[in-house]
Amino acid sequence: MGTDKRYDGYRSFDYLKATRDFREFDLLDGESLFEPYLVPLDSRGEKRVHELAQRLVMISLHEHPHLFPKRASEIPDYDSEARVSTAYEALADSWWDCVFDNFQDGACFITSKSGWKWEDVIYDMGMRLCDLAHQDFIIKAEKVEDIHRAHRDGRLALVCAQEGAAMIENELDRIEILYGIGLRVLGITYSESNALGTGLKETGDGGLTSFGRRAVARMNEVGIAIDCAHSSDQTTLDTVECSKHPIFLTHTGARGLWNIRRLASDDCIRAVAGKGGVIGIEAAPHTTVTANHPRHDIEGFMEHFEYVKDLVGIDHVAFGPDTLYGDHVGLHQVSAETLSIGDSHKPRDGSEAPEYERVDYVKGIENPTEGSKNILRWLVANDYSDDHIAKVLGGNILRVLDEVWQ
């Protein structure tokens, strides 16, 4: 039901009154800052794409599917209000049956200028989930069946996720509290180190801490999927080794194609796949660039997909585009320090950063709606089989969740 969703027009916080109950911002709701693009297909390809979009369960492993202000300079104020609007209408126009929503994570500045505080994360998630509870288009997905139900009913499943675990501090019980309010995916670290392990921005690499090992065990026991997309190489390898379940790299690319810390090494990709895990390909601006595509667009993004697929096989790759409805480059500019943009785009080996062409947006995969359509269109245009498309657009992710979310 990906192409014909059952959306009734609900807007975020319709149950309240703007200005009286919350501050309004001029949001990009139904508008685009950039020129839309569709991967071209012939008539036969168009028919096949629409048949597949209707039939397959399509899952994005990593997104931030809420509306952003038209003016990027207002993003910090918008975030600090903690009343973020879910992009219901735009998501209804997407072909995703399920998105992994990572909320505001490290940009959660309600009581702190540094982010990742327990109170702020709970405040942000609670406010968003209260809004979700007042509508009936999006299903808060807590079991695998919720994803299948969303597909059958023409609705959208939303999986609650957080990119890093800094906010649990040294409290293992907070993992259970997060699970209790609906969290189903948790990163070990964001780019900075925390009590669990080393983040990818650090020059040294101490790997997973002893507390981190206990946290991995608790996540396994509770039923939270583990993500190492922002963790250091050794932390990732340690997590794979000590987790009894497969893990995700929800949004990354191949360092073998583009030598920056933000992307995964071949060793990490092999280790995650060797344990049965899945690597989701990232599309945030200036990440999955390649020498063949120094101007970031869907072609470079898909080159990373094919590299990972060739390295570890079709059963271990998926898509976690990490896109949003707003000015993504603008977000990186106003939040560069918080999001560790500079450090994460440096090579791990101390060499010079590779040269690339700056873009204002990523052509073909700028937001969740465009990405959902063009990833499928690209796979059809490049003659992937129905079976392989089904795996990379949802089947591989469901296989891991079937084991982890028991």
pTM confidence score: 0.97
Average confidence (pLDDT) over 192-197: 97
Residues constituting the chain = 406
Q: Which residues are CB-neighbours of 313 under 8 A, at least 6 positions away?
A: 273
pLDDT of residue 29: 87
Residue-wise pLDDT for 123-161, tens only, equals: 999 999 999 999 999 999 999 999 999 999 999 999 999
| 68 vs 86: CA distance, rounded Å | 9
Q: Which CATH class is domain 43-404?
A: alpha beta
How do the domains of the chain map onto residue ranges? 43-404
For the four alpha carbons of 110, 116, 117 and 120, in that order, the dihedral sign comes to positive
| 156 vs 144: CA distance, rounded Å | 13
| 284 vs 1: CA distance, rounded Å | 27
Q: Output DSSP code: residue 141.
A: -
In our burial notation (b when 16+ CB lie closer than 10 A, e otherwise), range 132-159 reads beebebbbbbbebebbbebbebbbbbbb
pLDDT of residue 10: 97
Residue-wise pLDDT for 304-348, tens only, equals: 999 999 999 999 999 999 999 999 999 998 887 777 878 888 898
pLDDT of residue 32: 82
What is each CA distance from 403 to 152, 248, 316, in whole angstroms?
22, 13, 15
Q: Percent of the chain beyond pLDDT 70?
A: 100
| 263 vs 261: CA distance, rounded Å | 5
Q: How large is the C-alpha radius of gyration of the chain? A: 19
Average confidence (pLDDT) over 282-301: 97
3-state secondary structure of 155: coil
Place of tokens 């709701």: 29
> Long-range pairs for 138-144 at CB < 8 Å and ≥24 separation?
138/86, 138/88, 138/91, 140/182, 141/98, 141/184, 142/182, 142/184, 142/405, 143/405, 144/398, 144/401, 144/402, 144/405
Does the pLDDT of residue 355 top 90, yes or no? no
Residue-wise pLDDT for 57-109, tens only, equals: 999 999 999 999 999 999 999 989 889 999 999 999 999 999 999 998 777 88
Burial class of 347 by CB neighbour count within 10 A (0 to 12, 13 to 18, 19+): middle
Does the pLDDT of residue 1 top 70, yes or no? no
Average confidence (pLDDT) over 368-393: 98
pLDDT bracket for residue 350 (50, 70, 90)? confident
| 272 vs 228: CA distance, rounded Å | 9
Residue-wise pLDDT for 8-38, tens only, equals: 999 999 999 988 999 999 999 878 889 999 9
| 360 vs 279: CA distance, rounded Å | 26
> 101: closest CA among 52, 67, 53?
67
CB 228 within 8 A of CB 197: no
| 133 vs 291: CA distance, rounded Å | 46
